[in-house]
Amino acid sequence: MEKRSTFNNLWLPYLLLAPQIIITFIFFIWPASQALYQSFLLEDAFGLSSEFIWFENFEVLFSDPLYFDSINTTFIFSAATTFLSLSTALLFAVMADRVIRGEMAYKTILTWPYAVAPAVAGVLWLFMFSPSNGILALALKDWGYDWNHILQGGQALVLVVIAAAWKQIAYNFIFFLAGLQMIPKSLIEAAAIDGAGPAKRFWTIIFPLLSPTTFFLIVVNVVYAFFDTFGIIHAVTQGGPYKSTEILVYKVYNDGFIGLDLGGSAAQSVILMFIVISLTVIQFRYIERRVKY
């Protein structure tokens, strides 16, 4: 017979939940509501005078073509970063999974970049691609390609995507490797006996079985590209040239902390909050349905 414990005390469950609720309140609900409140205000920098202006900060944003450019940049940037870092990490993981000797050495080396702080990662790539004296920029010049990300927006975007993806490869690699090792060898061997080549085995067996890991990593990487790449962009391009690398998070910082436009900046972070909430909902609602666990 199954024995179920029940709580007779009405307050005990709330008491046990309290730490979680308090943490959520202090670190999420309270700041989020502050941002929401601030987004309705027009304030001077020192907070000496403030005017409640309802949705005007939002109206200004949505009538600003530059804001839509920033949204666009953000989607291109996060899609490119996620795709590049996931595909490279998967390639490395498949390779490392097949290595028999010196396995640990490969794994250790491939995980190192994760320990590098975003800003440092940005500076490393900046040095290599510095138009006046970076080694890769000079090498490109020798091949007849004029690299100048200080003026060319497209190149600047490529540079921050590479730097952001490079840093995330290590993290993705670990998860893919763990995912690969979870796949029963017998399945793959059976397919091999039936005559399926390595590419066929990968696309029809390994890749679908890896989908829970891939799904999880897509969520993590998109969030990473949205929020954690601030340091890279700040170190490499500061949003320029001509806003071509100004993703939404960077715009929030730029308008709020450099421009001291707190209301406009708060309105942007409220929008950002809704974008992330809806992204997560879409991911769990629709993409997860197609994932086989």
- Residues engaged in binding another protein (CB under 8 A): 42-49, 51, 132-133, 150-153, 238, 240-243, 254-255, 257-261
Which phi and psi (to 5°) does residue 259 adopt? -85, -10
**CA dist., res. 280 & res. 289, Å (int):** 13
Q: Which is nearer to another protein, 242 or 284 (CB)?
A: 242
CB of 275 to another protein, least distance (A): 23
CA distance 160 to 237: 8
* Shortest spacing between CB 56 and another protein, in angstroms: 10
Residue number, 32 or 258, with CB nearest to another protein = 258
Nearer Cβ to another protein, position 152 or 211?
152
DSSP bridge partners of 43: 50
For residues 163 and 232, is the Cβ–Cβ distance under 8 A? yes
Closer by beta carbon to another protein, 108 or else 133:
133
Nearer to another protein, 179 or 264 (CB): 264
Q: What are phi and psi of 42, to 5 degrees?
A: -110, 115
Residues in the chain: 293
Percent of the chain that is helix, strand, coil (3-state, to 5): 75, 0, 25
Residue closer to another protein (CB basis): 201 or 251: 251
- Least Cβ distance, residue 28 to another protein (angstroms): 21
268 vs 70: CA distance, rounded Å:
11
Tokens of 82: 């996620």
Is 95:146 a contact under the CB 8 Å cutoff?
no
Contact assessment for residue 37 and residue 53, using Cβ atoms and an 8 Å cutoff = no
Closest CB 129 distance from another protein, rounded Å? 13
Shortest distance, position 66 Cβ to another protein, whole Å: 8
